[in-house]
A = this chain, B = another copy of it.
Amino acid sequence: MAEPVTACLVIIGNEILSGRTQDTNLKHLALALNDLGVKLVHARVIPDEEKTIVETVNECRGLFNHVFTTGGIGPTHDDITADCIASAFQRKLVISQEIKEIIERREAPPEVMQTRMRMARIPEGATLIENPTGGPHGFQVENVFVLAGVPSVMQAMLSTITKERLGGGQPTHSLTLGAYLSEGQIGKKLGIIQENHPNIDLGSYPFYNADGYGTNLVMRGTDMTALKITFEEVRQMILSFGVEPIQD
Contact = CB atoms under 8 A, between A and B. Distances in A.
A127 interface: no
Given A23-B26, A43-B44, A44-B43, A174 B76 contact: no
B44 A19 contact: no
Contacts of A78: 194, 202-204
Contacts of A209: none
Interface in A140-199: 150, 172, 174, 182-188, 190-191, 194-195
A222 B18 CA distance: 13
A188 B108 CA distance: 14
A134 to B, nearest CB: 13
Secondary structure type dominating chain A contacts: mixed
Interface residues of A, number: 62
Given A26-B45, A42-B44, A42-B45, A18 B174 contact: yes
Given A16-B27, A19-B29, A75-B187, 7 more contacts: A18-B172, A20-B203, A20-B218, A44-B44, A74-B204, A77-B195, A115-B183
Interface of A: 14-24, 26-31, 34, 40-48, 74-78, 108, 111-116, 118, 150, 172, 174, 182-188, 190-191, 194-195, 201-206, 218, 220
